[in-house]
């Protein structure tokens, strides 16, 4: 398999750093101003993505994707937010640890370099009765601060192909209804939606009929989310630069609605992974070029743990020697790259430093120091 999204959390945070190609250790000066309240809300469920790293394609052999559908004319796009405007949700595992350990020698480093960075909020547990209120609690809090939240719907059926992050809705009809509830909580402000990590790049485990049905549901999800909040920016799963070749990934993305202005603002790459920002920029641009679609489509890149790049041996589970990457920003200064985000919160384990998705101060300190 190819390293896709390592362990993720049901309600996590997202962000990314400012310098475009600087992949070395992130400095405090390099990033945008830290937010007053950051961190990630601890998930009721802790999804862990399956290991997939070796290029160019994931485990199962895929059928050739269908040709790309025609694309509607581009709709006006929302202006990107200024640096420092990303929202950091205050209820998170890392923040809880920082608050509970005032005397720990690792606390200052973990707080300043991880807890005080805005990150994505994941919604990975299938709870239809509460999803609207839970999404609204995040988006309304961000709106009160004049900031932009990053939210991650992660409940597609047959999630992670039955791997460590298995779960999600029982079927696509239930998922469609869950997305309706999710969209109802978005409000009317700016919000970045990272739609279903691994759902497209890791679709080889599905038969053609089930894959087509999933893609139709994802295309519908994008339309519903953008119709509910015209200021929402929705990004689709492009895997990462060590997974599918750009042309193949673009063909899959097109089938899932990522080339349509009615459902998509572009693609995301490197979620929970370690590939260098420069490699992901080149890959994202190649995917977008092959995808076609409105000229305004862009990409967001998860830079949360890519400060030292990917391990040479392909290790994906809490690998040693990694560092936090570029700080979160919605103003990258790089053409076609809309944001650097921390979708995977550094310190939340892939399953080797602790139970999948749980916070490991040992690993957080290793990444941040």
3-state secondary structure the chain: CECCCCCCCCCCCCCCCCCCCCCCCCCCCCCCCCCCCCCCCCCCCCCCCCCCECCCCCCCCCCCCCCCCCCCCCCCCCCCCCCCCECCCCCCHHHHHHHHCCCCCCHHHHHHHHHCCCCCEEECCCCCCCHHHHHHHHHHHHHHHCCECEEEECCCCCHHHHCCCCCCCCCHHHHHHHHHHHHHCCCCCCEEEECCCCCCCCCCCCCHHHHHHHHHHHHHHHHHHHHHCCCEEEEEECCCCCCCCHHHHHHHHHHCCCCCCCCCCEEEECCCCCCCHHHHHHHHHHHHHHHCCCCCCEEEEECCCCCCCCCCCCCCCCCCCCCCCCCCECCCCCCCEEEEECCCCCCECCCCCCCCCCECHHHHHHHHC
Q: How many CB atoms lie within 10 A of CB 220?
A: 18
CA distances from 156 to 33, 116, 151, 252, 357 (A): 35, 30, 15, 16, 18
Q: Distance (Å, rounded) from C-alpha 169 to C-alpha 171? A: 6
Catalytic residues: 160, 198, 350
């Amino acid at each position: 398999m190819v390293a896709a999204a390592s362990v993720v959390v049901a309600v996590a945070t997202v962000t990314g750093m400012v310098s475009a190609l600087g992949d070395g250790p992130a400095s405090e000066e390099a990033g945008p101003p830290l937010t007053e309240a950051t961190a990630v809300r601890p998930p009721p469920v802790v999804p862990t993505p399956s290991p997939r790293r070796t290029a160019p394609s994931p485990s199962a052999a895929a059928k050739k994707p269908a040709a790309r559908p025609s694309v509607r004319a581009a709709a006006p796009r929302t202006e990107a937010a200024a640096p420092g405007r990303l929202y950091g949700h205050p209820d998170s595992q890392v923040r809880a640890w920082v608050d509970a350990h005032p005397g720990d020698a690792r606390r200052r480093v973990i707080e300043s370099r991880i807890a005080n960075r805005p990150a994505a909020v994941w919604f990975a547990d299938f709870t239809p009765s509460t999803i609207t209120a839970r999404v609204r609690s995040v988006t309304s809090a961000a709106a009160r601060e004049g900031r932009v939240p990053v939210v991650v719907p992660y409940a597609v059926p047959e999630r992670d192909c039955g791997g460590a992050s298995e779960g999600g809705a029982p079927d696509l009809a239930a998922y469609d209804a869950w997305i309706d509830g999710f969209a109802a909580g978005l409000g009317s402000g700016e919000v970045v939606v990272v739609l279903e990590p691994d759902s497209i790049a890791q679709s080889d485990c599905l038969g053609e009929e089930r894959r087509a049905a999933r893609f139709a549901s994802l295309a519908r999800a994008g339309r519903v989310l953008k119709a509910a909040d015209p200021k929402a920016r929705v990004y689709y799963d492009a895997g990462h630069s060590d997974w599918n070749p750009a042309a193949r990934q673009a063909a899959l993305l097109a089938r899932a609605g990522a080339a349509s202005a009615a459902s998509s603002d572009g693609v995301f790459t490197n979620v929970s992974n370690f590939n260098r920002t420069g490699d992901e920029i080149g890959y994202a641009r190649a995917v977008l070029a092959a995808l076609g679609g409105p000229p305004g489509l862009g990409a967001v890149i998860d830079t949360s743990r890519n400060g030292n790049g990917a391990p040479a041996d392909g290790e994906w589970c809490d690998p040693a020697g990694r560092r936090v990457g570029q700080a979160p920003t919605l103003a990258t200064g790089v053409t076609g790259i809309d944001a650097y985000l921390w979708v995977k919160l550094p310190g939340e384990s892939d399953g080797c430093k602790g139970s999948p998705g749980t916070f490991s101060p040992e690993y957080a300190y290793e990444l941040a120091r």
